Structure 1
Amino acid sequence: MITTTAAAGSLLPLTVALPLTGAVLAPLLARLSKRLPLIVSALGLVGSLAVLALIAPHVYGTGGGILAHYMGGWGPVHGAVLGIAFAADPFGMTFALACAGIGTLLVVYALSELGGLGERELGAFACLFQLLDAALIGSALTADLFNLFVWFEVAALASYGLTGFFLERPIALEAAFKIAILTTIAAFAVFIGAGLLYTGHGALNLAQLHNALAAHVGTADLVALGLLVAGFGTKAGLIPFHGWLPDAHTAAPGPVSALFSGLMVNLGIVAVGRLAFQVFPTSQTPILGILMVVGVVSALVGAIMALAQDELKRLLAYDTISQMGVLAIGLGTGAASGIAGSTYHLVNHALFKSLLFLCAGAITHRTGVTKLSEMGGLLGRWPWVAGAFVVGCASIAGIPPLGGYVSLSLIHHGLLESHQYLPYALMLVAQLITIAALGRAAWLAFFREREEEYERSESLRPGMLISLLVLSGCCIAFGVVPGTVIDHAMAPAASGLLHPQQYAHDVLAGVGSLSHVVVDFHYTDLMELGLIVVSVGLGALLTAGYLRSKEPLPVRALRAVHTGSVNDYAAFLAAGAVAIIAALRWA
């Protein structure tokens, strides 16, 4: 362990430099051996994870703390910052650890699934993969708004290449085009929003911006906030900014879909959380109410659209939209339990959604079948995949002793503590529909019989199996030891968001500790356990009914809105940005 906080803070840039170095080396090493790029990728991410683990005790210890490092020694002078800063607080550190750890597992999986590609292809894949993961780690640790925009752009550029990696597939090319158009619009919104704040306050450092905005938030500041929320909301896949997500997550290879859905979308949530709490004063803006509305709509619409899908990966993609809504709901409570639950669910979502997309990738890659209506009988063929899929579904459903039970319970408590009973009821409805959608997928793919044999069927390779087992084990572990995780990680993360003045002071000072926040969780809460039993029972009935009935009118209406046209989705994005700005200004 590193003994001094200054030494720990100086290591923060290394967490991004290691995967970036691997990204540069990957195409070059591919000329020597086609396996070397992915091996170097795994080593780079393991190195980043190791550095984060060295820094973590200084961030999570004694109730939580903050470490800051100013590049080139350009530290603050009388509260003004010229240099770019990295700052590790429990909220960002949690996301960074998830990116490095799960990213490593996805590379291990890719070594098995994509090992048959040519040297140039594997070199390019490894380069883009590490660029994206490095951007996610950088976005988690940056304390500078413009630097956050830079990492947004690095992640976007890498995602274009990874989405369209198999250009011979028309769906991949179309999906890459959509994500390029919509993410470019989102990036422009972020850039303009950052520019407005800099013009008004001469600051880009998040802590300095908080101090500048604490006294008064003007109209230009509200416009900037609306643009920033729309831009980062697009990255998160929140409705109505979600048009790119289903196509991109469906078209990409299995480990890339897992990277997108498990990790990349969380960049948007982390950025919105920082803006809502650590930059803008929640007392002067209705941002929490906006997050609640957007979250509830995303949770419901995403769940309904997931229930309606026949393609497995598209179903999981729409469920990602729903889960991003759940995260926004947790932040929107403004309560310690809800924010801690949202941070907890961010980790759980990274685990269970990566797990489910790897399962889907294993099925489609080894059978060539993508539609649920054409699947069946996979339980006997691949029991390990079936078990991993069930674990992921059960965690999303909030069934104990899996991690999803803990995080969803905390968000429920946050809603009840803040007396937001209507969002609480609507979130329960969304959870019920989610259970039905995933139960339907599990039944059609694994448990029902299939009369015909699959045209091709390959066995799982060791790297694929290892990744599935580790992710499944983590889903269980985060549900078995919630007290330790809440006390040492999630409660400090909530404290960092709920005490923005302290965050700003500590970032400008270079180091500091956070106030203690109490987050209560009772595993045997009879109300939560009863809700799970009822939700699973009603979800099973809804699954059975949906399998036997015609598509309901609300589902057909939502399908009609999702035209697949990038023009329509760009219009939704623009309309959503205008609506949020109007709500911020006149609510």
Structure 2
Amino acid sequence: MTAASLASLVPLPVAIPLAGAAVAPLAARLYRPALTVVSVLALLASAAVLVVIAPTVYGGHVLVEYLGKWGPVNGQVLGVTFGVDAWGLTFALVAASIGAVLLIFMVSDQATLGRREAGASACLFLLLDAALIGGALTADLFNLFVWFEVAALASYALTAFFLERPPALEAAFKVLVLTNVASFLIFIATALLYTRHGALNLGQLHDALVGHTDSADLIALGLLIAGFATKAGLVPFHGWLPDAHTVAPGPISALFSGLMVNFGIATIGRIVFSLYPGTGAQVLGLLMVLGLVSAVGGAIFALLQDDLKRLLAYDTISQMGVLAIGLATASPTGLAGTAYHLVNHALFKSLLFLCAGAIVHATGATNLSNMHGLARRMPWLVGAFTVGAAAIAGIPPLNGYVSLGLIHQALERGHQTVPYVLTLLAQAITVAALGKAVLAFFRRQRNPYARDERLRPGMRAALLLIAGACLTLGVAPEWVLNNLIEPASAALSDAPAYTHAVLSGGGQVDPHRISYHYLNPLELALLPATVVLAAPLIWLARRYRDSQAIRRVRSVQTGSVNDYASYLVVGLLVTVASTALVPLVR
């Protein structure tokens, strides 16, 4: 197929899940098994279209489709543009393929729900996933805001889906408040840029901003970063994340943590490197600080948790920090590590949340202190959880080893010693937090579980598929790097090529090669060092879990939406000051 014919397929990966969302409730009411077929096939079909265009895009081509055939006139774009490069395609592929696996688990887990409720749940899931795919493929700032809103609306409803549970309603209210603030920030930034430049197309805005940024443009940059940092759950914009991830059902938590928050980081990368490349250096320090605080702070809070899903939620904050650190390096190696870790995080965090959901389904237990004896009762489930934990810890041959190694290598080569040390500290604390969870499964069971249920075949299949993917991406890193990650990082860093493509109906991005040694002696030496450091951290966390100092640390996450909004406002002020005031000081 020609590039033009492939470009005409670009809207389909978004349109098909949207159509599936419309059909799913009807299918559930007519014939319950049809719900699974319709909803899963919608995402698989979306992924299939993306696979069809993948060889061309990963070959360096940017596919561009102007909706309504409203193409540029003298460099001016009036309509909505879809521009598919390797960076956006990578996230879209992950969202569609992993989303299909999560949907299999969800439909199987919710087999006892009524037809109406099951159809509504699948509809909301498909809406959110379609929004993530659309946001990854769009080349229009306002269209990006629209997809953000669609994802936000679906996330409110999914968080509060079980209305009989007061914590779910409370968490949904927090998501509603904080995400609405983030939406408002993105909308104001979009309005500022449109007022200044009369453009919404990312390529057209890039040309207008290069060498011509003023205070309003830089304020818009700060607003955009703050808005999408809220979606990503970076500190101090993170207040909504632990509560929402904890109360949502396992597959919904996996959707939020594995895909939705990744969307925030992927979009920040697009904004900083594709839209504002001339001012990117001014915000790299901000991204590094946000990343380090999130990585270390999220890991510490994860270590202090007894609720398994809350532990995993805080670890998500930590992993988003690691991704922000990778972006902040601004090096080809660091960007490659970020792209790789985006894929890896979607896999291993989805696996861990599905395992947590399976434990709740089978035993009714939510706290680690009530999960003793699980290794003896469900060894294969504990094995799947251990695979996910080892992947996050960066233990070879699992996938996290390669992506973390690339980010560490970028920091080392950039002589960023303090960030390097803090990143390693965050990794050691993460190993301790997840190690504490794994050890809890092997302790002797003292009390019976609240219930004794068997996992359904769809749930088992989903766990097996994602665990297998974690292993596959770890044992074949050369192929993944050469064919997927290098094109993705090159597409993000080559703003002029992306701009030319979206304004001329297509273009080419030249790939760059990443130098990476799998058996890096330093990286291999750091593995036992982090494990050795993690052991006393586990002991300290258990020994002083009820101490006054620990209670004070936990009190930062107060549960009050007012406090969380205050954290967000403080983060907003710091972000805008960092982007808008630093150039004036110079």
- With normalisation by structure 1, the TM-score equals 0.97
**8 Å contact 1:348–1:403 — kept in the other structure?**
yes
Matches within 5 A, 1:372-387: 372-387=368-383
Q: Which amino acid in structure 1 is aligned with residue 493 of structure 2?
A: L
Cα deviation for residue 455 of structure 1 reads 3.2
Cα deviation for residue 250 of structure 1 reads 0.8
Q: 1:232 to 1:427 in 2, by over 3 A?
A: same
Q: 1:510 to 1:433 in 2, by over 3 A?
A: same
Matches within 5 A, 1:22-421: 22-61=20-59, 64-283=60-279, 286-421=282-417
- Partner of 1:4 in structure 2? 2
Matches within 5 A, 1:14-29: 14-29=12-27
- Partner of 1:474 in structure 2? 469
**8 Å contact 1:70–1:85 — kept in the other structure?**
yes
Residue 485 (structure 2) pairs with residue 485 (structure 1): no
SS of alignment partner, residue 401 of structure 1: coil
Cα deviation for residue 65 of structure 1 reads 2.2
Q: 1:284 to 1:181 in 2, by over 3 A?
A: closer
Taking the aligned partners of 2:287 and 2:489, their CA distance within structure 1 comes to 16
Which deviates further from its counterpart, 534-543 or 467-476?
534-543
Q: 1:553 to 1:480 in 2, by over 3 A?
A: farther
Cα deviation for residue 550 of structure 1 reads 4.5
Question: Could you give the per-residue CA deviations for residues 514-566 of structure 1, whole angstroms, max 9, x where no partner exists?
Answer: 12212111111000000111111211232133223345776444312211100
Matches within 5 A, 1:473-552: 473-550=468-545
Cα deviation for residue 453 of structure 1 reads 2.2
- Partner of 2:576 in structure 1? 581
Question: Could you give the per-residue CA deviations for residues 366-396 of structure 1, whole angstroms, max 9, x where no partner exists?
Answer: 2111111121111111112111100000000
Taking the aligned partners of 1:169 and 1:339, their CA distance within structure 2 comes to 41
SS of alignment partner, residue 82 of structure 2: strand
Q: 1:552 to 1:495 in 2, by over 3 A?
A: farther
Question: Could you give the per-residue CA deviations for residues 71-94 of structure 1, whole angstroms, max 9, x where no partner exists?
Answer: 011111121111101111111101
Taking the aligned partners of 2:545 and 2:155, their CA distance within structure 1 comes to 37
SS of alignment partner, residue 35 of structure 1: helix
Q: Which amino acid in structure 1 is aligned with residue 230 of structure 2?
A: T
Cα deviation for residue 282 of structure 1 reads 4.3
Equivalent in 445, 457, 466 of residue 450 of structure 1: 445
Taking the aligned partners of 1:477 and 1:284, their CA distance within structure 2 comes to 34
Which deviates further from its counterpart, 506-515 or 351-360?
506-515
SS of alignment partner, residue 570 of structure 1: helix
Taking the aligned partners of 2:163 and 2:383, their CA distance within structure 1 comes to 33
Taking the aligned partners of 2:547 and 2:262, their CA distance within structure 1 comes to 31
Q: 1:209 to 1:558 in 2, by over 3 A?
A: farther
Taking the aligned partners of 2:306 and 2:278, their CA distance within structure 1 comes to 41
Cα deviation for residue 456 of structure 1 reads 1.4
**8 Å contact 2:145–2:187 — kept in the other structure?**
yes
What stretches of structure 1 move > 4 A for 4+ residues in a row?
Answer: 282-285, 550-555
Q: 1:480 to 1:456 in 2, by over 3 A?
A: same
Which deviates further from its counterpart, 149-158 or 452-461?
452-461
Cα deviation for residue 285 of structure 1 reads 5.2
**8 Å contact 2:398–2:475 — kept in the other structure?**
yes
Task: Report percent identity of matched pairs.
Answer: 58
**8 Å contact 1:340–1:410 — kept in the other structure?**
yes
Taking the aligned partners of 1:65 and 1:345, their CA distance within structure 2 comes to 23
**8 Å contact 2:171–2:244 — kept in the other structure?**
yes
SS of alignment partner, residue 62 of structure 2: strand
Taking the aligned partners of 1:549 and 1:573, their CA distance within structure 2 comes to 30
Q: Which amino acid in structure 1 is aligned with residue 48 of structure 2?
A: A
Q: Which amino acid in structure 1 is aligned with residue 37 of structure 2?
A: I
Which deviates further from its counterpart, 317-326 or 497-506?
497-506
Taking the aligned partners of 1:314 and 1:492, their CA distance within structure 2 comes to 35
**8 Å contact 2:21–2:126 — kept in the other structure?**
yes
Which deviates further from its counterpart, 35-44 or 135-144?
35-44
Q: 1:12 to 1:434 in 2, by over 3 A?
A: same
SS of alignment partner, residue 434 of structure 1: helix
Q: 1:550 to 1:120 in 2, by over 3 A?
A: closer
Cα deviation for residue 126 of structure 1 reads 0.7
Which deviates further from its counterpart, 333-342 or 536-545?
536-545
**8 Å contact 2:210–2:278 — kept in the other structure?**
no
- With normalisation by structure 2, the TM-score equals 0.98
SS of alignment partner, residue 86 of structure 1: strand
Q: 1:155 to 1:550 in 2, by over 3 A?
A: closer
Question: Could you give the per-residue CA deviations for residues 174-211 of structure 1, whole angstroms, max 9, x where no partner exists?
Answer: 00110001100100000000110111111111111111
Q: Which amino acid in structure 2 is aligned with residue 247 of structure 1?
A: D
**8 Å contact 1:337–1:414 — kept in the other structure?**
yes
Taking the aligned partners of 2:162 and 2:457, their CA distance within structure 1 comes to 24
- 5+ residue gaps, structure 2, are none
Question: Could you give the per-residue CA deviations for residues 303-333 of structure 1, whole angstroms, max 9, x where no partner exists?
Answer: 0000011100000000000000000000000
Question: Could you give the per-residue CA deviations for residues 11-37 of structure 1, whole angstroms, max 9, x where no partner exists?
Answer: 010000100001001112222123322
**8 Å contact 1:34–1:118 — kept in the other structure?**
no
Q: CA-atom RMSD, angstroms?
A: 1.2
Q: Which amino acid in structure 1 is aligned with residue 465 of structure 2?
A: V
Cα deviation for residue 153 of structure 1 reads 0.3
Question: Could you give the per-residue CA deviations for residues 410-444 of structure 1, whole angstroms, max 9, x where no partner exists?
Answer: 00111122221111110100000000000001111
